[in-house]
Amino acid sequence: MSDKERADQRSGAQTQAQVCAAEGYEVERLDPQSAVTLPSSRYDLRVLKALRQVIRATDLYSRRLLTLHNITSPQLICLLAISEEEPVTVSKLAKKNFISPSTLIGILDRLDYKGLIGRSRDTRDRRIVNVILTESGKDLIRNAPSPLQDKLTQALNRLPETEKAAIAESIELVVKMMDVDNVGAAPILEVGTLGSTRVQNNQGDVK
């Protein structure tokens, strides 16, 4: 990467604290006096810390989104996808979000229950189900923060192709090294089950 590209990346990037402040939720801050500096040669600890930061940020975002808007990240992502191309079929929506139809049905059921979407059979082919947003769904999209993973997408798009490939391959290698490459997962930043609206508090109680 050239010096100019590095400067552009630094100027375009936001710190986690800035992102959290912009989205309206608090982030856990470390006391500089108690912060532990990891040895630069302990790559395992550096990787684990980075993974933990992503998990923690995702958890904080999900809690705030659920508290303020009564919606989860996967539900918001589906709403945004519907808004881009409504009416849209269930099968097309599943492909667009790279999630299984069965998982999507669970998400749509919750959105329907909340009055955020409407579903109807196609007049020409009754086997096809079309999904649209209700006025409540449109209002929520206008007021809710953008999905956390959009920030990752935007940041990656600023990088050269070789660096994007290197990042993806490195993370995929971490997955293989941890022997969890057989664990199914959709490409959506969320803790827990995608269709679930349950969030645990700091004491482990389920809300």
Q: How confident is the model at residue 39 (pLDDT cuts 50, 70, 90)?
A: confident
- The token duo for 165 is 């490939």
Q: What is the fold of 15-26+41-153? A: Arc Repressor Mutant, subunit A (1.10.10)
Q: How confident is the model at residue 139 (pLDDT cuts 50, 70, 90)?
A: very high
Q: Is the pTM of this model over 0.75?
A: no
Q: Which of 135-139, 154-158, 194-198 has the lowest mean pLDDT?
A: 194-198
Residue type at 142 in one-letter notation: R
Contacts of 96 (CB under 8 A, 6+ apart): 81, 85, 88
Question: For 47-104, what is each residue's pLDDT tens digit?
Answer: 899 989 888 888 888 888 888 889 888 899 999 999 998 899 998 999 988 888 888 9
DSSP result, 108-145: HHHHHHTTSEEEEE-SS-TT-EEEEE-HHHHHHHHHSP
Bridge partners for 130 per DSSP:
89, 120
Question: For 155-174, what is each residue's pLDDT tens digit?
Answer: 999 999 999 999 999 999 99
Domain locations in the chain? Answer: 15-26+41-153
Give the sign of the dihedral formed by CA 38, CA 44, CA 48, CA 50.
positive
